[in-house]
């Protein structure tokens, strides 16, 4: 599975980081940050 497809756009827009709050809903911020993808299961279990 593509890690960039794990969250829906609606889920991402609920976040409070600058990336998702600085722009109006008609603009899609295109940079990717680590908080935009879920952690691999191996890291969660460590």
**Residue labelled with tokens 């899609």:** 28
pLDDT value of position 34? 65
Q: Among candidates 36, 38, 39, which has minimal Cα distance to 14?
A: 36
pLDDT value of position 44? 86
Task: Write down the H helix ranges in 1-46.
Answer: 9-13, 18-21, 41-45
pLDDT value of position 32? 66
pLDDT value of position 5? 83
pLDDT value of position 20? 84
Q: What is the pLDDT of residues 1-46, one digit of tens each?
A: 677 788 888 888 898 888 888 888 888 887 766 667 777 888 888 7
Structural domain spans, the chain: 3-45
């Amino acid at each position: 599975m593509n890690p960039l497809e794990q969250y829906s756009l609606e889920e991402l827009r609920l976040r409070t980081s600058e990336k998702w709050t600085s722009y109006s809903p008609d603009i899609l911020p295109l940079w990717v940050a680590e908080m935009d993808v879920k952690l691999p299961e191996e890291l969660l279990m460590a």
